[in-house]
Amino acid sequence: MPDPRPLSAPESFHVLAKPTGPICNLDCEYCFFLSKESLYPGDRFRMADDLLETYVRQLFEAHATASEVTIAWQGGEPTLMGVDFFRRAVGLTARYARAGQVVHHTIQTNATLLTDEWCELLAEHHFLVGISIDGPPSVHDRYRVDKRGNPTSDRVLRGLGFLGKHGVDFNILCTVNAANQDQPLEVYRYFRDILNARYIQFIPIVERDNESGFQEGDRVTDRSVDPGAWGQFMIDVFDEWVRLDVGTVFVTQFDAALASWLGIQPALCIFGETCGNAVALEHNGDLYSCDHFVEPDYLLGNIRQSHMVELLASPKQRAFGDAKRDGLPEFCMICEVRFACNGECPKNRFTLTPSGDPGLNYLCAGYKKFFTHIDVLMAMMAGLLRQGRYADEVKGVLARAARNEPCPCGSGRKAKICHGP
Ligand code: SF4
Ligand code: SF4
């Protein structure tokens, strides 16, 4: 641990550790990780045990005064490391955590390799497991295929069965892409009613069409979500959620939006004013500015040579995070929903504003539509919370609306054809 701790180091930060680098047992067509293999030619892509210990030790040293620490694994497919690697990881966290410090274990997986043995470990240590699934098999299997091009939904559902059997908490990570963008309610209801999911995050696929696999160029593949369809997808899910599911189903984007309407920092980095506190750790100790920027220009250093807190505090990483705010075009600066959107993620800012300025988010049209649509009901929920009441009271307000009166959502339409009963 550097002595003293650098002043520019964030109090707390998030590391996405990738013990197998980009290596995965599947071959999802839109996956941006797979092309990253070329960064490390000839590599075995397995995190060594001594590096695992260095990582865990540094993470806890950097959070010595924090009451909670999250240790997060993703890939590629992290379960390819085998159960014993994670047993060692859990053992190390127990060794380095301070007495009384709460440790949260999370892992993101495609679920296809989960077994009883896996789920016993995950249950014992209360892992929160993020499952990548894009909806019912008919849409999930469109792009999420294995190395032979075969569908994977049956194996994902088998993995989910193991999680359920052992009582492991899971959340759904659903990409929204060209194949499912027009089926928001089918997708949402499948997760809520068939998979019994209570935590859901939607992730728009914006896949650059280039040879490098890096964040460059301004063309997207035809698998990418359409900006307007993305906005409508989120609107349709919101309209269902706000009538029926507030307080029982948690959609990451809606939680983040509510935080913005309350004037507090959303937990989702893409909607923050600045970023830079969520780094990616490769299998060999290389630390990158963000999981979406595992590219040579964004390599901060290697944790075998430099403590990760020094790399987080480095001028390069602070500038990376500040650029999210400082790089916004004027069009965003005067936007009415900037407080909630903040130009979203810099990785998607490759289009022009109406006046021709660079740096506008590809998804702008969708976000403008979505955040404008939810304004009145978000303000209502934020108001309830400020009064010490519960956000889910909004469901009652909508259910009690007179059918032929204007809908409480502010749309100007009659309640019966909007959010009303
Ligand atoms: S670049 Fe995007 S994903 Fe990465 S930390 Fe910043 S906002 Fe988050
Ligand atoms: S909605 Fe569009 S203009 Fe407004 S902040 Fe987001 S990206 Fe910028």
Residues 260-289 have pLDDT tens digits of 999 999 999 999 999 999 999 999 999 999
Token pair 């520019």 in the structure block, residue = 8
Task: State pLDDT tens for residues 231-255.
Answer: 999 999 999 999 999 999 999 999 9
**Residue 192 near residue 249 (C-beta atoms within 8 A):** yes
Catalytic position from the list 209, 291, 326, 392: 291
Determine if ligand 2 sits within 6 Å of the CB of residue 364.
yes
Cα 38 to middle of ligand 1, angstroms: 22
Task: State pLDDT tens for residues 83-128.
Answer: 999 999 999 999 999 999 999 999 999 999 999 999 999 999 999 9
Confidence of residue 211 (pLDDT cuts 50, 70, 90): confident
| Cβ-proximal residues to 290 (8 Å cutoff; 6+ apart), any chain | 275, 276, 278, 279, 280, 298, 320, 347
Cα 337 to middle of ligand 2, angstroms: 7
**Residue 215 near residue 292 (C-beta atoms within 8 A):** yes
Determine if ligand 2 sits within 6 Å of the CB of residue 370.
no
Kindly identify the ligand whose nearest atom is closest to the C-alpha of 367. 2
* pTM for this entry: 0.94
Alpha carbon nearest to ligand 1 atom 2, residue: 345
CA 21, CA 284: separation in Å to the nearest integer? 8
Atom index in ligand 1 nearest the CA of residue 277 equals 5
Atom index in ligand 1 nearest the CA of residue 268 equals 8
Task: State pLDDT tens for residues 306-319.
Answer: 999 999 999 999 99
**Residue 24 near residue 45 (C-beta atoms within 8 A):** no
Kindly identify the ligand whose nearest atom is closest to the C-alpha of 215. 1
| Predicted local distance difference test score (pLDDT) of residue 34 | 62
CA 355, CA 331: separation in Å to the nearest integer? 8
Token pair 């600066």 in the structure block, residue = 333
Q: In sequence order, what are the beta bridge partners of 220?
A: 208
Cα 320 to middle of ligand 1, angstroms: 9
| Cβ-proximal residues to 192 (8 Å cutoff; 6+ apart), any chain | 200, 245, 249
Confidence of residue 33 (pLDDT cuts 50, 70, 90): low
| Cβ-proximal residues to 398 (8 Å cutoff; 6+ apart), any chain | 242, 243, 407, 408, 409, 415, 419, 420, 421
Determine if ligand 2 sits within 6 Å of the CB of residue 31.
no
- Active site annotation includes 218: no
Token pair 């807190």 in the structure block, residue = 309
Determine if ligand 2 sits within 6 Å of the CB of residue 57.
no
SS3 assignment, position 27: coil
Alpha carbon nearest to ligand 2 atom 2, residue: 364
Alpha carbon nearest to ligand 2 atom 3, residue: 332
Determine if ligand 1 sits within 6 Å of the CB of residue 290.
yes
